[in-house]
Protein backbone atom coordinates (compact mmCIF):
# COMPACT_ATOMS: atom_id res chain seq x y z
CA UNK A 1 0.00 0.00 0.00
CA UNK A 2 2.79 2.39 0.91
CA UNK A 3 4.46 2.03 -2.50
CA UNK A 4 1.15 2.25 -4.34
CA UNK A 5 0.09 5.48 -2.60
CA UNK A 6 3.55 7.01 -2.97
CA UNK A 7 3.62 6.33 -6.71
CA UNK A 8 -0.01 6.91 -7.71
CA UNK A 9 -1.42 9.48 -5.31
CA UNK A 10 1.65 11.39 -4.10
CA UNK A 11 3.35 10.95 -7.48
CA UNK A 12 6.82 10.87 -6.04
CA UNK A 13 9.86 9.59 -7.88
CA UNK A 14 10.09 6.23 -6.09
CA UNK A 15 13.39 5.08 -7.68
CA UNK A 16 15.02 8.32 -6.52
CA UNK A 17 14.05 7.94 -2.86
CA UNK A 18 16.22 5.88 -0.58
CA UNK A 19 13.39 5.71 1.96
CA UNK A 20 11.30 3.76 -0.53
CA UNK A 21 14.18 1.36 -1.07
CA UNK A 22 14.26 0.73 2.69
CA UNK A 23 10.52 0.06 2.64
CA UNK A 24 10.90 -2.38 -0.27
CA UNK A 25 13.76 -4.20 1.47
CA UNK A 26 11.68 -4.49 4.64
CA UNK A 27 8.76 -5.94 2.67
CA UNK A 28 11.13 -8.40 0.96
CA UNK A 29 12.53 -9.48 4.33
CA UNK A 30 9.03 -10.08 5.72
CA UNK A 31 7.94 -12.04 2.63
CA UNK A 32 11.12 -14.16 2.76
CA UNK A 33 10.75 -14.81 6.49
CA UNK A 34 7.14 -15.96 6.09
CA UNK A 35 7.79 -18.19 3.09
CA UNK A 36 7.01 -21.02 5.52
CA UNK A 37 4.15 -19.52 7.59
CA UNK A 38 4.26 -22.20 10.27
CA UNK A 39 7.92 -21.42 11.07
CA UNK A 40 9.06 -17.91 10.09
CA UNK A 41 12.80 -17.69 9.52
CA UNK A 42 14.43 -14.29 10.13
CA UNK A 43 18.04 -15.36 9.55
CA UNK A 44 18.42 -13.48 6.26
CA UNK A 45 16.59 -10.34 7.33
CA UNK A 46 19.82 -8.48 8.11
CA UNK A 47 21.05 -9.11 4.59
CA UNK A 48 17.80 -7.94 3.03
CA UNK A 49 17.63 -4.81 5.13
CA UNK A 50 21.31 -3.99 4.81
CA UNK A 51 21.77 -3.87 8.56
CA UNK A 52 25.01 -4.88 10.17
CA UNK A 53 25.92 -5.77 13.67
CA UNK A 54 25.96 -3.19 16.44
CA UNK A 55 29.76 -3.41 16.36
CA UNK A 56 29.71 -2.00 12.83
CA UNK A 57 28.43 1.33 14.19
CA UNK A 58 31.70 2.13 15.99
CA UNK A 59 34.65 3.06 13.81
CA UNK A 60 37.60 0.64 14.09
CA UNK A 61 40.02 3.54 14.61
CA UNK A 62 37.97 4.74 17.57
CA UNK A 63 37.91 1.24 19.07
CA UNK A 64 41.71 1.12 18.77
CA UNK A 65 42.04 4.54 20.38
CA UNK A 66 39.77 3.61 23.30
CA UNK A 67 41.60 0.34 23.90
CA UNK A 68 44.99 2.06 23.86
CA UNK A 69 43.75 4.85 26.14
CA UNK A 70 42.32 2.37 28.69
CA UNK A 71 45.59 0.43 28.64
CA UNK A 72 47.58 3.63 29.25
CA UNK A 73 45.35 4.65 32.16
CA UNK A 74 45.65 1.20 33.72
CA UNK A 75 49.44 1.31 33.45
CA UNK A 76 49.47 4.80 35.00
CA UNK A 77 47.30 3.67 37.88
CA UNK A 78 49.53 0.65 38.49
CA UNK A 79 52.65 2.84 38.39
CA UNK A 80 51.15 5.24 40.93
CA UNK A 81 50.28 2.34 43.21
CA UNK A 82 53.85 0.98 42.98
CA UNK A 83 55.34 4.40 43.74
CA UNK A 84 53.07 4.78 46.74
CA UNK A 85 54.09 1.33 48.01
CA UNK A 86 57.81 2.03 47.47
CA UNK A 87 57.64 5.31 49.34
CA UNK A 88 55.96 3.57 52.22
CA UNK A 89 53.44 6.33 52.63
CA UNK A 90 50.43 5.06 54.51
CA UNK A 91 47.04 5.80 53.24
CA UNK A 92 45.09 8.58 54.92
CA UNK A 93 43.25 7.15 57.93
CA UNK A 94 39.50 7.27 57.63
CA UNK A 95 36.60 7.31 59.98
CA UNK A 96 37.13 6.71 63.68
CA UNK A 97 40.89 6.16 63.36
CA UNK A 98 41.44 9.70 62.12
CA UNK A 99 39.31 11.20 64.89
CA UNK A 100 41.06 9.09 67.53
CA UNK A 101 44.46 10.34 66.41
CA UNK A 102 43.41 13.96 66.85
CA UNK A 103 41.77 13.29 70.22
CA UNK A 104 44.77 11.38 71.57
CA UNK A 105 47.07 14.27 70.89
CA UNK A 106 49.00 12.40 68.24
CA UNK A 107 48.87 15.48 66.06
CA UNK A 108 51.06 18.50 66.76
CA UNK A 109 49.37 21.18 68.89
CA UNK A 110 46.78 18.61 69.91
CA UNK A 111 45.14 18.72 66.53
CA UNK A 112 44.47 22.43 66.63
CA UNK A 113 46.05 24.31 63.79
CA UNK A 114 47.03 27.95 63.76
CA UNK A 115 43.83 28.65 61.92
CA UNK A 116 42.86 31.66 59.90
CA UNK A 117 41.05 33.50 62.63
CA UNK A 118 41.26 37.22 63.37
CA UNK A 119 43.88 38.71 65.59
CA UNK A 120 46.70 36.53 64.36
CA UNK A 121 46.24 33.78 66.86
CA UNK A 122 44.74 35.80 69.69
CA UNK A 123 41.18 34.87 68.71
CA UNK A 124 38.37 36.82 70.38
CA UNK A 125 40.31 37.41 73.59
CA UNK A 126 42.43 40.16 72.14
CA UNK A 127 39.63 42.11 70.46
CA UNK A 128 38.01 45.14 71.97
CA UNK A 129 34.31 45.03 72.72
CA UNK A 130 32.47 46.93 70.19
- Tens of pLDDT, residue by residue, the chain (130 residues): 888 888 888 888 888 888 888 888 888 888 888 888 888 888 777 777 776 666 666 788 888 999 999 999 999 999 999 988 888 755 555 555 555 545 555 555 555 555 565 555 555 555 555 4
Chain centroid, CA 62 distance in Å: 15
Nearest-Å Rg of the Cα atoms of the chain is 36
Could you tell me how far CA 78 lies from the centroid of its own chain?
22
Global confidence as pTM = 0.36
Residue 130 has what DSSP assignment?
Answer: -
Confidence (pLDDT) at 118: 58
Amino acid sequence: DCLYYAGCIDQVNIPGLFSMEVVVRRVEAIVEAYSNPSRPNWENSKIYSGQGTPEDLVAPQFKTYVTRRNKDELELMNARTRVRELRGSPLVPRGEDAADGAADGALPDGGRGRGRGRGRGRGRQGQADG
